[in-house]
Amino acid sequence: MESECPTETKKGKSKTPKKAKESILKQKSPAEFFAENKNIAGFDNPGKCLYTTVRELVENALDSAEAISELPVIEITIEEIVKSKFNSMIGLVDRERVDEELYDDYETAKAREKRLAKEARAQEIQAKNAALGKKVKEHAVSKSSKGRGEASFYRDNGRGMPHDDIPNMFGRVLSGTKYGLKQTRGKFGLGAKMALIWSKMSTGLPIEISSSMRGQNYLSFCRLDIDIHRNIPHIHLHEKRDNKDKWRGAEIQVVIEGNWTTYRSKILHYMRQMAVITPYAQFLFKFVSDAPDKNVTIKFARRTDVMPPVPVETKHHPSSVDILLIKRLIAETSKQNLMQFLQHEFVNIGKPLAERLIGEMGPEFSPKTAVKSLTDQQIVRIHQLFRQAKFDDPSGDCLSPAGEYNLRLGIIKELHPDMVATYSGSAQVFEGHPFIVEAGVSVGGKDVKQGLNIFRFANRIPLLFEQGGDVVTRTALKRISWNNYKINQTQDKIGVFVSIVSTKIPFKGTGKEYIGDDISEIASAVKSAIQQCCIQLKSKIVKKMQAREQQERKRNLSKYIPDATNAVYDVLKEMAKSHASKKKRYEEGDADILRKVSDHLITKETLYEKLTQHVEKVDYEMALEYATQTGVREEPREDIYLESLDDKGNFFDFHSPIFVFRLFL
């Protein structure tokens, strides 16, 4: 019995069911991931969040208008919302403070006295500087400004959005219309969605969208926020409304926590650079505050109606694909066999090359091989061959650069430089992706600091942050010998503009803020483009220097005309006396001049007039030669206003790097 007890005990224990261990694996939705890592998308702090929201919405508006070849008209309004107004918006009653010391902005009497003394000293210094004509710095932002909200409103005349797609376009992260292989301003499907996520995190208020497309007789209105944990839109209201004005485009309003004071200069700088790279767009920017002196209204007028072509979606180059992409293309293709798949899913693979590639793959491959039946090993073999084989470079026909004409117009419109040169390079390739580099270099201008002022653009987006590591900055600072082009790198006001467009911009990080300096193809193209601009400028600068030297010579000659006149006349009088007394004989021509001096037909006044005419003639001939060589007049030019034509008849545009000639039929 004793020996059986343990056995019975074990059996008894075995009958007790064991609890299954709970899984420690957890999942996050894309929306939840980016909410927790919002800095990846440029939402680092309230000020940066406001800047990124403006940037993303403006770029979405430009894409929308350009997609239907409509000249963009974009309005951006940022309204400052104080705490009391925000509380009334969400139905929260203001509450008086009970424990003052609990709050972050509380200061003791001693601290307040110290702060007021410091402010008084600062005001005294500012008053002295103002009296001396020195630049007066703005007051530092007080701590009480923390935590204000900003209402961001924007309106465009783009194509609008389909009624049923609006909730997913704004309320589902990593869904969008920009996926595919083509040049686009955005790549991550985050822009407006991150603004919505930040709105939900900082203010809890939904986003409001109004939209109408061409041919629709109604207006789509949607008020929604996002279910961050499930990555789906949470719709408050979605309805169709009357569109009596036949308006087309989109309006978006979002309320977020922001800081206009700290990022004011960045936002305005961004708008100015956007006006440079898109002179065919019209921007109206407003900042509205309860304090009228803080209000800002800036209009960036359209300078041209010539738009770049719409970027075209292209196929993948064989050298740019990986194994996963090949598998995805196989899954999505409608082609049945390997021959058709290679010809139709990749660029630069014609029938002869496809046959050679299939022959090189091995005996288990044939042109009739069913592409859907390829094994993992066979796909790896295809990938290896793609990496090792030689293919023609992809063309740049799918790209849409700003164009020299637009770049030049934008620079002139916003900076008013003394001289400018532009250059557009031919399409080049890195890692199977085509890219085009355009550059402009200007000298002089308004609101331009001495030294290098670098303006960077990628797929026609201004890049304002992390400038130090960018390929454009490093090239301009370290690889260009400015003195060789008669440009003083420290004293002259130099504007360097570089725009890179590609189907794949090699940004460092998902913030899309700078392009690395480690891609030799891009670094070389950037250097070459800037140098081409400098060569053009050197020619202009040298001619301008020559003209200046000519003016200096004229001034020097004119300065010595009186002394030269007196000296020459005195010599002639002495010679005339010698000739008259027959002490010395001169040839007939010289003797005739001396007789005229004796008869007072040639006087000091006559000599002065003749010398002055000679100096003027020499200066005129040299100036005429200079003007003929340069083809432009350097003196101030008068504005010419051309009346616009209401007739929308047919016309042809003849493009040149510096102008577009439009011929109406």
Q: Write out the binding residues for ATP.
A: 60, 156, 177-178, 186-193, 512
Give the dihedral sign, CA 253/259/261/262.
Answer: negative
DSSP string, 245-289: T---EEEEEEEEE--HHHHHHHHHHHHHHHHHH-TT-EEEEEEE-
The total of other beta-carbon atoms located within 10 Å of residue 594's CB is 21
565 contacts 471 by C-beta, under 8 angstroms: no
Phi, psi of 610 (to 5 degrees): -65, -40
Taking phi over 0 as left and psi of -120 to 50 as alpha, with beta for the rest, 363 belongs to alpha
Give which of 204, 246, 244 is closest to 226, Cα–Cα: 204
Of the CA atoms within 13 Å of residue 534, those in its CB half-sphere come to: 20
Three-state SS at 137: coil
Contacts 24+ apart (CB under 8 A), 608-612: 608/561, 608/562, 608/565, 611/561, 611/564, 611/565, 612/558, 612/561
Give CA separation, 239 vs 64, 212, 218, 224, in Å. 22, 12, 10, 12
Of the CA atoms within 13 Å of residue 285, those in its CB half-sphere come to: 19
382 contacts 361 by C-beta, under 8 angstroms: yes
CA distance 221 to 237: 8
149 contacts 81 by C-beta, under 8 angstroms: yes
Annotated binding-site residues read 60, 156, 177-178, 186-193, 512
280 contacts 159 by C-beta, under 8 angstroms: no
Terminal alpha carbon distance of the chain: 116
CA distance 11 to 136: 90
Q: What is the dihedral of CA 131, 132, 133, 139, to 10 degrees?
A: -60
